[in-house]
Structure 1
Amino acid sequence: MSLSYWEIKSWLTNVDYTIVGSGIVGLNCALQLKKNNPKARVLVLERGVLPQGASTKNAGFACFGSVSEILDDLKSHTEDEVFNLVRKRKEGLDLLRHNLSDTNIDYKQYGGYELFNNNDQELYEICLLKKDYVNSLLDPIFQEPVYSLQPNHFKFKSIKSNYIYNQFEGQINTGKMMEALLFKVQSKGIKILNNITVENYLETNTQVEIQTNHFTFKTKKLCIATNGFAKQLLNEAVKPARAQVLITKPIKGLHIKGTFHLDEGYYYFRNIDNRILLGGGRNLDFAGEETTVMAETDLIQNKLEKLLKTTILPSTSFEIEHRWSGVMGVGNQKKPIVKQISNHVFCGVRLGGMGVAIGSSVGIDLANLVG
C-alpha cells in the first residue's frame, strides 16, 4: 500500500501505544491507556472488518462457571485459584455493566441452568453432592447461595428431571456491547485501523517497528491482545479453540428464557429475539477445532441441529437462519496471561472462553502494566 503524507502524519507518526486486536481486551486497554496518559497517541490495529476473534462472535453469556465446570477446574487448580478465577469473572462482569450500562449491552439476568443428559448419571450425582460445597466456596463473593435445584419446567427431553440453577447468571447482546465500546473508544480520540494484519515486529532499545500487511511504522509500546490468534505473534501457553454457533429463525411463542449449559459446558444455548442460539461441540473434534480458520464443519453443525431437534425443541418446528464461528484462546490453566514480554512489548491473552466476563478487567490490567 502506498500511503500519502497526510495518512502517515495523521495515523502513523509519533504513536505512543499500539494495540493489536480490537476486541474487549484491546479496546479496554486502549481506554485505560488514554485515561492514564491523556495526551498519548493510541492506535488500535484490527485484522478484520469487525473484531475477528470472539468478541463479536460469542454467545453473549454473562457467566462465571457452572457447577460441573468449577468442579473440573478444581482438578487442576487449587481452591484459592478457582475462588480467584470466579471472583475475577464476577468483578469483570460488574465492570462491564458499569462501564457501558445494562441498557447499552441489553443485559438481562434471567438466570443460568446446567442440564444433565439422562445417561450422565455419575456427573449428575457428583454435581448434586458437591453443590453445597461449591456454594460454600463462593459464598464470600456472592454473600448467598449461587446454585439451587429447579425442576425441568422448560420440558427439555432426555435430560434429568432437575436443573442446577444459577440465579446470578445473565445474558447480553454482544453486538450492542461492542458498538457501545467502539463508540466510547473513538470518542476519546483513539484511532482504530481495520483490515490490518500484524505480520511481525522488531524491537530496538527505544521503540518497536511493526510490520503489517499494508505498511510498516514505529511505536513506543506494543500491546498484543489477540487472544486466540496470539500464537502468530507470541510464544506463550495459549492455543486457538474454535467455537461453532447457529441461530434459528424467530419461533412463535418461544417459552425458553435464560442461559443453558449442557455436557460440562461443551454445549450452550440461550434465547435471543424469540430465537434459540446454540453453540459448542468442540469436544467432538478437539484437534480439528484447534484452528484460527473461521469456518463450520458438518460434524459439529449436524450435532447442534440434532440437539435442537431431540432435546431443546423436540415438539417445536424451527429453521436455521445463520451459522458462524469464533476463535477463543485457551490453555492448561484458566488464568489469563497478562505480562511484559520484553522492554516495550506486552500481552493480555488466554481468556479461556470467559472473554465477556474478564475481558474488561484484563484490558485494564494490561494497560496498567504498560504504565
Structure 2
Amino acid sequence: MNLSHWEYNTWFKDIDYTVVGSGLVGLSCALELRDKYPSANIIILERGVLPQGASTKNAGFACFGSISEILDDLNHHSPEEVLALVQKRYEGIELLRSTLGDKVLKYQQLGGHELFLDKDDELFEQCREELDRVNKLLFPVFNKQAFELYPNTFGFQKVKSNFITNPLEGQIDTGSMMAALLSKVQASGIKIFNAMEVSGFEEDDGGISVVTDNFEFRTEKLLIATNGFAGNWVDADLAPARAQVLITKPIPGLQIRGTFHLDKGFYYFRNVEDRILFGGGRNLNIKGEETQELGITDQIQTELERLLSDVILPGTSFEIERRWSGIMGVGSRKMPILKRLSERIACGVRLGGMGIAIGCSVGRDLARLA
C-alpha cells in the first residue's frame, strides 16, 4: 500500500520516536518520552488489535518473587544481584501505583502465598530453613521481614499445612491498568496504530526506514518494547514463553483471597472477586511452550482443571468461563535486557514473567536510553 499525501502528512511525517509494542513497557516508554520531549512526534505500532503479548493477558500479580524463586535465583546470581532484582520489582510496582493510582488499578494488598504439595517435603523444608537468611537479605527492600509461615485457612487439599507468605504482595485489574495507560497516552497526543506489524527496519545516516506489513515510513529513533517477540530483532539470551490461563464462572461463597504460587511457581492462581483465575503448566512441555503462537493445549488445560478440582477447590463445583494465553520473554538470567542496539535503536525486553512489577520502570528506562 502506498500512503496518500494526506495520510503521510497527517500521521507519518517527521516522526521523532517510534515505539514498537503497545504493552506496559511500550506505553510507559512513550509517556516518559512525552514528559521529556513535549513537542516530539511520537507514535506506537502494535501488531494486534489489542496489545498482543502479555500485558492484557497476565494474571495481575503485584509480586516480588516467591521464597522458592528467590532461593533458585541465589543459585544462579550473587546475593547482591538478587537483592537488586527484588528492589527493582518493588520500586517498579510503586512506580506503577504512583503513575495510575490504586483506585484505577483496583489494587488490593491481600498477600502472596507459596503452597507446597504434600510430595514436596524437601523443597518445603529447604524454604522454611532459609527463611531467616532470605529475610535478612531482603530487609533493605521492605524494612521488615518479607516472608512468614501462614496456616492453610482456605481449605486447599494435598498441600502442606503451612504456606510461606509475603503479606506485602497484592493484585491488580490488568484490564483497568491497560485502559488507563492507553487513555493517558492518547490524551498526550501520541498516536497508536493497531494491527500494524513491523516486518523489518534499516538504519542509515539520516534515520531509520521502518517496513510494516502495509507500507514503509521514516523515523528518527526506534524503541523496541515487544518482550517475548523481540527475538526477531534482538540477538540476545531471549526466548518466548507461552503462559496458558483459565478463569471460572462466579463461585457462590468463595472465600479464597490473595495470590498464590504452586510447584516452584510453575502454577499460579488468585481470586478475581468471586472467581478463580488459574494459569501455568509450562513445565509440562517447556519446548512446546517456547513459541510466539498464542493458543491453548489439551495437555496443559486438563492439568489446570485437575489441580483446580483436587487441590484448590476440592468438593466445590465450578465451571470454566474462559481460556487464553499470553507470551512472556524469558532467558537464563532474570534482569531485563535494556540496551542500545545502535545510536538510534534501543530495546527494553525479557521481563521474565515479572511484567507487572517491572514493566513501568523498564519503559521509563528505555525512554531515557533514547
Question: TM-score, structure 2 length as denominator?
Answer: 0.99
> Letter of the aligned partner of 1:74 in structure 2?
L
Residue equivalent to 2:301: 301
Residue equivalent to 2:43: 43
Q: Within 2, Cα distance between the matches of 1:40 and 1:208?
A: 16
Q: Within 2, Cα distance between the matches of 1:180 and 1:21?
A: 16
Q: Within 2, Cα distance between the matches of 1:6 and 1:274?
A: 50
Q: Within 2, Cα distance between the matches of 1:5 and 1:206?
A: 22
1:11 Cα offset (Å): 1.1
Residue equivalent to 1:288: 288
- Structure 1 stretches of 4+ with a deviation exceeding 3 A read none
User: Which of 4-13 and 294-303 deviates more?
Assistant: 4-13
1:273 Cα offset (Å): 2.7
- Deviations along 1:280-306, one digit per CA (max 9) or x if unpaired, are 000110000000100000110000000
- Deviations along 1:131-150, one digit per CA (max 9) or x if unpaired, are 11111100011111111111
Residue equivalent to 1:81: 81
> Letter of the aligned partner of 2:259 in structure 1?
T
Residue equivalent to 1:320: 320
Equivalent position SS for 2:75: coil
Residue equivalent to 1:346: 346
Q: Which runs of 5+ in 2 are unaligned?
A: none
Residue equivalent to 1:53: 53
Residue equivalent to 2:201: 201
Residue equivalent to 1:62: 62
Q: Within 2, Cα distance between the matches of 1:194 and 1:2?
A: 18
1:2 Cα offset (Å): 4.1
Residue equivalent to 1:24: 24
Residue equivalent to 2:179: 179
Residue equivalent to 1:226: 226
Q: Within 1, Cα distance between the matches of 2:204 and 2:344?
A: 9
Equivalent position SS for 1:71: helix
What is the Cα-based RMSD across aligned positions, in Å? 0.7
1:314 Cα offset (Å): 0.6
Residue equivalent to 1:366: 366
Q: Within 1, Cα distance between the matches of 2:110 and 2:359?
A: 22
Query: Identity over aligned residues, as a percent?
Result: 59
Residue equivalent to 2:264: 264
Q: Within 2, Cα distance between the matches of 1:7 and 1:130?
A: 61
Q: Within 2, Cα distance between the matches of 1:132 and 1:107?
A: 29
> Letter of the aligned partner of 2:335 in structure 1?
K
1:155 Cα offset (Å): 1.0
Q: Within 1, Cα distance between the matches of 2:283 and 2:10?
A: 47
Task: Verify: 1:357 aligned to 2:320, yes or no.
Answer: no
Equivalent position SS for 1:186: helix
Q: How many residues align?
A: 370
Q: Within 1, Cα distance between the matches of 2:228 and 2:86?
A: 21
Task: Verify: 1:145 aligned to 2:145, yes or no.
Answer: yes
Residue equivalent to 1:136: 136
User: Which of 60-69 and 3-12 deviates more?
Assistant: 3-12
Equivalent position SS for 2:97: helix
Q: Which runs of 5+ in 1 are unaligned?
A: none
Residue equivalent to 1:164: 164
